[in-house]
Amino acid sequence: MSQTFAPGVAPQPAPDASDGARPAAEGADSQTSTQGPATSGTLDAPEKAETRQGHAGFWTLLVGSVGVVYGDIGTSPLYAFREALVPARTDGILLPEEVIGTVSLILWALFLIVTVKYVAILLRMDNNGEGGILSLMALARKALGGSRIVFMLGLLGASLFYGDAVITPAISVLSAVEGLKLVTPALDDYVLPITVVIIVALFLVQNRGTGKVAAFFGPVTIVWFLAMALAALPHIALHPEVFRALNPWHAVVYLLGHGTGALVALGAVFLAVTGAEALFADLGHFGRKPIQLAWIGLVFPSLALNYLGQAALVLEKPDTADPFFQLVPAWGLLPMVILATIATVVASQAVITGAFSLSRQAIQLGLLPRLEIRHTSESHAGQIYLPQINGLLMVGVVLLAVLFKTSSSLASAYGIAVTGTMLLTAALTFLVMWRMWNWSPVAAAAAMLPFIVVEFLFLLSNLIKVVEGGYVPLLLAGGLVVVMWTWVRGVTILFNKTRKTDVPLVELVGMLEKSPPHHVRGTAVFLTSDPEIAPAALLHNLKHNKVLHEKNVILTVETVDTPRSNEADKVRIEPVGPHFYKVVMKFGYMETPNIPKTLVLLRRQGFKFDIMATSFFLSRRSIRPAAHSGMPLWQDRIFITLAKNANDATDFFQIPTGRVVEVGTQVTV
């Protein structure tokens, strides 16, 4: 099927309605995917992942998942427990029950949100092996036959994820480098400069790709988790009473007995589960079973032991300011700081990679203009680099680090983005359970309501900190929603406006048969968003050059609502008159379109052509703001700016530059 993600949205959007990107019609049938219903039983995600990784071994995938999937959540102990204790310290007296209650809240949040919701439920909601909120949105829209509300939920969730991608590197690296202050207070003034240098260096090496260091991520993160667990064991042995935190009653008593202070504590407790979205987002890279086993066998036990160890240390020394680094003896402090810094770089890398992947999905779904996408690995299609996204992220991360200066200050800004994304994920999960898994509404609500309630409480607790820094992800998400919605509206308005002057293709072919122009040898490929309408480039070529090639291909590129299109249905051809052919290519939203390579598949269907005697005709439109359009003037200007910065269709579709002919026109929007 053609894409149905947003009304009137082009999958490879551009300001030109004739560049091959086909907009979807509102209410188009979304039940006829070429690959069948994408339920949990469509294809086991580990099989998908292993296929894409060159049949990599299960244990290789498991080790890799530890580094990439759990890098973010694995650095939460650096600051989560410390910040969660702040409300209990306000009166100057820290009671043992408050310590036990706080760590109980963290452990049960990890169990309910991560283990049950993400590991047990969401990892089974793969969209042909792919995860993430946009994949979940695609499933929900398919189940509902296309829904504007679901589209907006996905758009908002994607925007919040970008907020997370900006905050995570800043808070993670800051919290690790702050350990230097414990090594020697003389380094206090150097924490921020060192943090900025690490962040800038991290973003500058992105263009080299993660392939060379990916094998390094897994083993280092495994060492990190083992070190966290081992550092906690001596303190737990001295205070085994911390195991009382495994009883959820202590968490309930803490919440009921601390009023608004408990709500503030919840906001910090939620820092312990940040990174859980990576479980779902990276499903396609590693598969369900490796991710599940890594969590149950290593990550969850290590995190639980570390939080229990921090609680035991605070029970022994209530005035401990930074319980994480003080778990280790003095001789191990500097090595732990170095290991923590490396771990936070890994965590940051995971989020940056996720932002690249999400951006490609957003481009394919028509939420963003075409951006330059570079493949950094010949063997792994998922390893990509987007220069514009990388640059924007780097500026955002550095600004946050410089403005907030400490990880404690940034902690106030962190929770809202993550809680908002998780709540939206829960809502979409309910829709998939109800309409795609065919659960009754009551059963689906009963399954998801507990998570929605808990995450709503977390969101409420984080909203209290809006003034302290929580406004940052809200501003980022709000700005991105405006940008994405402006692009969607602009493409729709432009598409509808150009259709008023369009000529039906069949009508044009009939006219050319009656009054044929001069024919020249070779093949001409005209990219268009609507195969029923004669492309503008074709009309201009006839008008000005007064010639027609012996073979003319009217090419439309569609994005299907699955990660990868069905190979058997990737390209189809239909003759229209003696010299014309309509060709439709289908790509999944995780694929990068390659028109010349896909055109070769037509030879199997009997269509013969020489790529060196083929010309690709594109229509390049220069957009001007209109006095009366469907958008305000300020939104027109945003759309025009986005259009000017969009990647060239030649590069995006990987067309040989020497075979391209561009025809320019002006249009108002």
| Confidence grade of residue 565 (pLDDT, cut at 50, 70, 90) | confident
In three-state form (DSSP H/G/I as H, E/B as E, the rest C), the secondary structure along 192-257 is: HHHHHHHHHHHHHCHHHCCHHHHHHHHHHHHHHHHHHHHHHHHHHHHCHHHHHHHCHHHHHHHHHH
Mean pLDDT value across residues 409-420: 78
The residues facing 661 across adjacent strands are 617
571 in helix, strand or coil? strand
pLDDT score for 21: 46
Residue 273 reports pLDDT greater than 70 = yes
pLDDT score for 376: 66
pLDDT score for 561: 65
Per-chain mean pLDDT for the chain: 81
pLDDT tens per residue, range 468-485 = 777 888 888 889 889 988
Neighbours of 590 (CB within 10 A): 25
| 381-403 per-residue burial string, b: 16 or more CB within 10 A, e: under 16 | ebbbbbeebbeebbebbbebbee
% of the chain at pLDDT higher than 90: 24
Name the DSSP class of 547. Answer: E
**Which token pair is 612?**
């060196």
Residues contacting residue 651 through CB under 8 Å, at least 6 positions apart = 372
Mean pLDDT value across residues 479-499: 85
| Confidence grade of residue 17 (pLDDT, cut at 50, 70, 90) | very low
pLDDT score for 23: 36
Contact 449, 601 (CB under 8 A): no
Neighbours of 483 (CB within 10 A): 18
pLDDT tens per residue, range 68-121 = 788 888 988 988 898 888 887 777 778 899 999 999 999 999 999 999 999 999
Instruction: State the pTM of this model.
Output: 0.73
pLDDT tens per residue, range 237-263 = 999 999 999 999 999 998 888 777 788
**Which token pair is 507?**
């009508």
Nearest C-alpha neighbor of 26 from the set 6, 45, 43, 54: 6
What φ, ψ does residue 266 adopt, rounded to 5°? -60, -40
Residue 19 reports pLDDT greater than 70 = no
| Own/partner long-range contacts of 327-334 (Cβ < 8 Å, ≥24 apart) | 327/231, 327/232, 327/235, 328/231, 332/231, 333/179, 333/182, 333/183, 334/183
Contact 26, 12 (CB under 8 A): no
Mean pLDDT value across residues 334-350: 85
pLDDT tens per residue, range 194-239 = 999 999 998 988 877 655 555 677 788 899 999 999 999 999 999 9
Nearest 5°: CA angle at 388, between 370 and 203? 145
pLDDT score for 48: 45
Nearest 5°: CA angle at 566, between 564 and 568? 150
Contact 484, 156 (CB under 8 A): no
Contact 67, 345 (CB under 8 A): no
pLDDT score for 32: 29
In three-state form (DSSP H/G/I as H, E/B as E, the rest C), the secondary structure along 88-113 is: HHCCCCCCHHHHHHHHHHHHHHHHHH
Mean pLDDT value across residues 445-474: 85
Nearest 5°: CA angle at 414, between 486 and 103? 145
Length of the chain: 669
| Alpha-carbon torsion angle 626, 632, 634, 635, nearest 10 | -90
Residue 322 reports pLDDT greater than 70 = yes
Residue 8 or residue 448, greater confidence: 448
- The domain segmentation of the chain, as residue ranges, is 49-414, 503-668
Residue 380 reports pLDDT greater than 70 = no
Mean pLDDT value across residues 139-145: 83
Residue 646 or residue 308, greater confidence: 308
**Which token pair is 560?**
């299907």
2 in helix, strand or coil? coil
Which range of 125-139, 348-362, 518-532 scores highest in mean pLDDT? It is: 518-532
Mean pLDDT value across residues 44-59: 49
pLDDT score for 383: 65
Least trusted range by pLDDT, from 155-164, 490-499, 531-540: 490-499
Distance, in Å, from the CA atom of 243 to the CA atom of 239, rounded to the nearest integer, reads: 9
pLDDT score for 293: 93
Residue 57 reports pLDDT greater than 90 = no
Name the DSSP class of 469. Answer: I
| Confidence grade of residue 324 (pLDDT, cut at 50, 70, 90) | very high
Contact 105, 299 (CB under 8 A): no
Domain spanning 49-414, CATH architecture: Up-down Bundle (1.20)
pLDDT score for 214: 56
| CA 145 remoteness from chain centre | 23
